[in-house]
Structure 1
């Protein structure tokens, strides 16, 4: 089963759950599945289309040059500066 279909199923279960606790459990499961998929993509060297810091789209040229990038160049420079 794909991550997307698992997430869809978890969201549907949360949407139709009879009580708040079951809804919360369904949403938590969907969030967990999404997080696992993101980690797997990063381990495979896949980056992101949007910067995880500022949310803007990472330019195609940056994604081609650094396919593993998860931040735009400005945010990546800020991260590096913070690291020292």
Structure 2
């Protein structure tokens, strides 16, 4: 099963959960799956098609120049500024 389908399944379970606790658990599971997939992709040198912070498509030029990019240039600049 792909990470996307696992996340979609977790979101669907959260959406249809009978109570708040079950909904929260489903959302937490979806978030965990997405986080693990992101870390694995980084370790394999794979970047993302969409920015992890703003969800805007990362331009092809950036993805070619920096194949493991997971953020657009603007969001990466913000991350670097916060790290200082």
TM range (shorter): 0.7 to 0.9
* Structure 2 equivalent of residue 42 of structure 1: 42
Per the alignment, residue 31 of structure 1 pairs with 31
Alignment RMSD (CA, Å): 2.4
For structure 2, which runs of at least 5 residues remain unmatched after alignment? none
Which segments of 5 or more consecutive residues in structure 1 lack a partner in the other structure? none
Q: SS state of the match for residue 69, structure 2?
A: coil
Q: 1:45 to 1:23 in 2, by over 3 A?
A: same
Partners of 1:74 and 1:3 in 2: CA distance: 27
Given the superposition, is the C-alpha separation of residues 83 and 12 from structure 1 closer, same or farther in structure 2, using an over 3 Å criterion?
closer
Which stretch shows the higher mean deviation, 51-60 or 34-43?
51-60
Q: Pick closer, same or farther for the CA change 1:45–1:27 going to 2, 3 Å.
A: same
Bigger Cα Rg? 1
- Offset of residue 35 of structure 1: 0.7
> Which of 7-16 and 24-33 deviates more?
7-16
